[in-house]
Amino acid sequence: MLAIRSLIFNAVFYLNLVVQMLVFGIFTFLGPFWYVWGVGQTWSRSSLWLAEKIVGIRLHVEGADNMVDTNCIVAIKHQSFLDTFAFVPNIKAGMIVLKRELTWIPLFGWYLLRFRFIAIDRGKGRAVMDQIVEKAASRMANQDRQLIIYPEGTRKAVGAPPDYKYGIVELYARLNVPVVPIAHLAGLYWPRRQFRRYPGIMKARILEPIQPGLPRPEFRKLLCEKIETACDELLMEVAQEQDPPPFPPTAIARLEELGVDTANLPRRN
């Protein structure tokens, strides 16, 4: 039954994306930016609604008051495709960094351009960071924007050892804006590289902003500690639930490191 619900959700999820792009297309390309971002928030909310109604994934966000509406960097733990849109309703005017080739895709790419995201040429090596800083600073100068970043760069399994890249440190130092960390366990409910979706309450925490001005090493350490500590706390909370989703091996290993008895917890590969 879980497999069937997951299959139905995946089909409806992408159908919803295509339908909304077609329905809102002309208004998106003609409307002001606040309307454009509103379209993205509408799609995000509708996708979360589908996830709740079809497969039983409910999002519960703590600390919403910590989100900054002015210029800032939003640093999100990356575990799943779910975390790429789950927090869009909490962000006033977000922008993400993406490879420019995505903007060449008909219709979808046009949307990306209209959202004024930061398209980069990854072939330029170290100059890529200069591209990001220049474009982000320009957009922030014209309008309050929130730069959405995944500090580890790629999706990590729940409980896997963290690997925070230096890029977030450089952006923090050069843009001189607060960083809002977000911790969550999306990978328990929407695992990477799997089509199954598991029901449950996906807890997430928007943590207190890290203000600009810290030395680079101190900021990197603090960011990692804040996000990983919150993720550990959330993981232990889920492990105590009456009917938790199955845990991957990395989550089981991390729980055991934290002193949690995992003998009776459900598991998945």
Of 208, 224, 219, 124, the closest CA to residue 171 belongs to: 219
pLDDT digits (tens, 9 = 90+) for 196-230: 999 999 999 999 999 999 999 999 999 999 999 99
Q: Is the pLDDT of residue 159 over 70?
A: yes
pLDDT at 28: 67
What is the torsional sign of CA 18, 4, 45, 103? Answer: negative
pLDDT at 250: 97
Q: Is the pLDDT of residue 64 over 70?
A: yes
Our measurement of the distance from residue 196's CA atom to the centroid of its chain's CA atoms, rounded to an integer in Å, reads 19
Question: Of residues 153 and 237, which shows the higher confidence score?
Answer: 237
pLDDT at 34: 73
pLDDT digits (tens, 9 = 90+) for 20-56: 877 776 666 676 777 778 888 999 999 999 999 999 9
pLDDT at 104: 82
Give the burial string for 154-167 (b: 16+ CB within 10 Å, else e).
Answer: ebbbbbbeeebeeb
Phi, psi of 95 (to 5 degrees): -145, 145
pLDDT at 75: 97
Specify whether the backbone of 27 is left (phi greater than 0), alpha (psi in -120 to 50) or beta. Answer: alpha
Are 146 and 92 within 8 A, CB to CB? Answer: yes
Q: Where are the beta strands (DSSP E) in the chain?
A: 57-62, 72-76, 94-99, 118-120, 146-149, 179-184, 200-206
3-class state of residue 53 by DSSP: helix
Mean pLDDT over each residue of the chain, to the nearest integer = 91
pLDDT at 98: 79
| Separation of alpha carbons 170 and 174, rounded Å | 6
Give the burial string for 121-131 (b: 16+ CB within 10 Å, else e).
Answer: eeeeeeebbeb
Q: C-alpha angle with apex 83: 255 to 44, nearest 5 degrees?
A: 145
Our measurement of the distance from residue 75's CA atom to the centroid of its chain's CA atoms, rounded to an integer in Å, reads 8
Edge to edge, what strands does the sheet with 118-120 contain?
57-62, 200-206, 179-184, 72-76, 146-149, 94-99, 118-120
User: pLDDT confidence of 17, banded at 50, 70, 90?
Assistant: confident
Question: For residue 248, what are the contacts with CB-CB under 8 A and spacing of at least 6?
Answer: 157, 158, 159, 187, 191, 267, 268, 269
